Amino acid sequence: MTIYLPPLDETMPEHFPSVSTAMADPDGLLAIGGDLSPERLKAAYSQGIFLGLALMSRCYGGRHQSGQ
């Protein structure tokens, strides 16, 4: 199975893909890439997106959580 995850734009830390594009399987993956800068973290958290160390954002039951 091939999984495509859109990369986060390095020049726009406040921009994330629409939460409606989060994958159901595996477990709500939303995007990959980016960094853990304060700007990106604040933007992600304000949108209900939680970044993981692997920087793959996930959505669980309408809420976004990070995962690897």
Distance, in Å, from the CA atom of 18 to the CA atom of 59, rounded to the nearest integer, reads 11
Output the six-digit token pair for 17: 């893909």
Indicate the residue type of 57. S
pLDDT for 12: 92
DSSP the chain: -----PBPPTT-TT----GGG--TTTTTB--B-----HHHHHHHHHTT----TT-EEEEETTEEEEE-
pLDDT at 55 (0 to 100): 47
Place of tokens 């990369």: 7
| Domain regions of the chain by residue span | 38-68
Say what the pTM is. Answer: 0.63
Each residue's pLDDT, cut to its tens digit, for the chain (68 residues) gives 677 888 999 899 899 988 888 887 767 778 888 888 899 889 988 888 877 655 455 555 555 455 44
